Amino acid sequence: MSKNLWGIDPIPFVGTDDVREGLGFHYYQADRQVAGKSMKDWLRFAVAYWHSFDQRLVDPFGDGTAQRPYDAITDPMELALAKVDYAFDFYQTLGAPFFCFHDRDIAPEGDTLRESNANLDRVVDRIEQRQHETGMKLLWNTSNLFNSPRFLKGAATSPSAKVFAYAAGQLKHSLEIAKRLGAENYVFWGGREGYENLWNTDLKRERDHQARFFHMAVDYAHEIGLDAQFLIEPKPKEPTTHQYDFDAATAMEFLRAYDLDKDFKLNLEGNHANLAGHTFQHEVRSARIAGMLGSLDANQGDKLIGWDIDEFPSDLYETTAVMWEVLAAGGIGPRGGLNFDAKPRRSSFTAEDLFRAHIVGMDAYAAGLMVAAKMHEDGFIEGILKDRYASFDAGFGAEVDRGAGTLASLEAEVLDTPAQELVNSLGSDHLESLKATINNYMIKALAE
Ligand code: XLS
Ligand code: NI
Ligand code: NI
């Protein structure tokens, strides 16, 4: 393939000889084997339509700065169709095998749902054709149930039954598109599902409605034979003051309470984790140990800015932690991937920056995979955990784990134990050395 619509050559692997090259991969090699699988199969990178092809690089106080090669096209439908070609050229040039979109990312909205659906179908025809030509796969699609003023009080949790019905109708068509395009997953992000003020909110009724909405989605998927994995994407706030799917733990509690936990898993996002007061690793770990890891929105937050800035992931420490969890799980959920729900900074406004930003994200995750794989290979963290909880492997500790201990049996073990002996039973964690060792793994694994 030569230069494409974007005027950029296919992104090559350049290794680490020229560490400053911005249009080449330093670590990501699709077919390189790591821990028994190719990098491509571990990472399953996806490009997000909304950020890459619609986003104008605005921030809450600033207009868009983006310069894109299709900016001169003014007719909305013509632009929508042209963007599909630009998008597929982008995927191919970058070498990312998956893409993701919201219904309203790809086609202009009409005045009625019927008109919007017709617009959507025209663009989906083009997407389907380009998928056949290129072999590109849809990691997930979703419906945008948050931008329009009709959703200002929520979609599935709106106090208006009419708006609830509209959201249901919109979702129905999105599920049909998921089936048509062979989506691996289908995502529900409830940006407006929550409340601004609890005094005027019937929390119980809104949660019930949200669950009904999800049950209807499961039923319709069965009806049309859609086998995509359903995912909830937690976020604590923004744009809504309090969002119901606050974090992984809250979303899992909701799914269990409404008997939806067999049909849904989670799509976790780095910046959302931070907004909830967690690390990305915390969210991935929480989902992993519950068997609920579905997919990942690979971005990162900023310690100093309080909103969802959707920065491309570059923090090697964080990508290492996330990939350590993914390796421990044997993969990113049954059918998940790493979707770059991320945008370049406002000051990185050229079309080329869009490539550069994705390359950084792909390299950061490829490098994180390499480091985490080495740590697993050595059983480094596994060994630390084994030692730390060893007292539960034998004696009365093992009885607790077997479910055999009682308050009385345990009291008998410690009734006369001197205070210092209890402290001594703990041992030092040498936490600083642990962190230093992780640093050493990073330097060593990437040098090999
Ligand atoms: C917004 C969300 C959104 C979802 C898809 O913060 O991350 O982009 O991923 O609706
Ligand atoms: Ni987000
Ligand atoms: Ni997201």
| Residue 241: Cβ within 10 Å count | 12
Q: Residue 142's beta-bridge partner residues?
A: 102
Distance (Å) from CA 239 to ligand 3 centroid:
13
* Residue type present at position 30: A
Torsion sign across C-alpha atoms 14, 19, 22, 27 = positive
Give the ligand with the smallest distance to the CA of 155.
Answer: 1
3-state secondary structure at position 206: helix
CA distance 350 to 68: 7
pLDDT of residue 249: 98
Half-sphere exposure of 137 (CA within 13 A, CB side): 13
Ligand 1 pocket test, pick from 189, 268, 296 with the greatest ligand atom count within 8 Å of Cβ, gives 189
C-alpha triplet 399, 400, 404: angle, nearest 5°: 60
Relative to the CA of 339, which ligand 1 atom is closest?
Answer: 9
CA distance 16 to 360: 13
CA distance 327 to 296: 14
3-state secondary structure at position 293: strand
Torsion sign across C-alpha atoms 399, 404, 407, 408 = negative
Relative to the CA of 51, which ligand 1 atom is closest?
Answer: 8
Q: Which stretches of 81-205 are assigned E, i.e. beta strand?
A: 98-102, 137-142, 185-188, 194-195
pLDDT of residue 1: 47
CA distance 269 to 326: 14
| Nearest partner of 93 among 29, 28, 6, judged by Cα | 6
Distance (Å) from CA 342 to ligand 3 centroid:
8
| Residue minimizing CA distance to atom 5 of ligand 1 | 189
* Residues designated catalytic: 102, 105
Q: Kindly list the protein residues whose Cβ atom lies closer than 6 A to any atom of ligand 1.
A: 102, 142, 187, 189, 233, 235, 269, 297, 308, 341
pLDDT of residue 327: 98
pLDDT of residue 250: 98
Predicted TM-score (pTM) of the model is 0.98
Give residue 255's Cα distance to chain centre: 18
pLDDT of residue 3: 66
Q: Which stretches of 39-97 are assigned E, i.e. beta strand?
A: 45-48
* Lookup: tokens for 416: 């006369």
Distance (Å) from CA 343 to ligand 2 centroid:
11
Distance (Å) from CA 191 to ligand 1 centroid:
8
Ligand 1 pocket test, pick from 233, 272, 308, 312 with the greatest ligand atom count within 8 Å of Cβ, gives 233
Local confidence pLDDT in tens for the 448 residues of the chain: 456 899 999 999 999 999 999 999 999 999 999 999 999 999 999 999 999 999 999 999 999 999 999 999 999 999 999 999 999 999 999 999 999 999 999 999 999 999 999 999 999 999 999 999 999 999 999 999 999 999 999 999 999 999 999 999 999 999 999 999 999 999 999 999 999 999 999 999 999 999 999 999 999 999 999 999 999 999 999 999 999 999 999 999 999 999 999 999 999 999 999 999 999 999 999 999 999 999 999 999 998 988 899 999 999 999 999 999 999 999 999 999 999 999 999 999 999 999 999 999 999 999 999 999 999 999 999 999 999 999 999 999 999 999 999 999 999 999 999 999 999 999 999 999 999 999 999 999 999 8
pLDDT of residue 307: 86
How are beta strands 37-38 and 293-297 bridged, if at all? unpaired
Contact 236, 242 (CB under 8 A): yes
CA distance 171 to 433: 51
Distance (Å) from CA 162 to ligand 1 centroid:
24
Relative to the CA of 189, which ligand 1 atom is closest?
Answer: 10
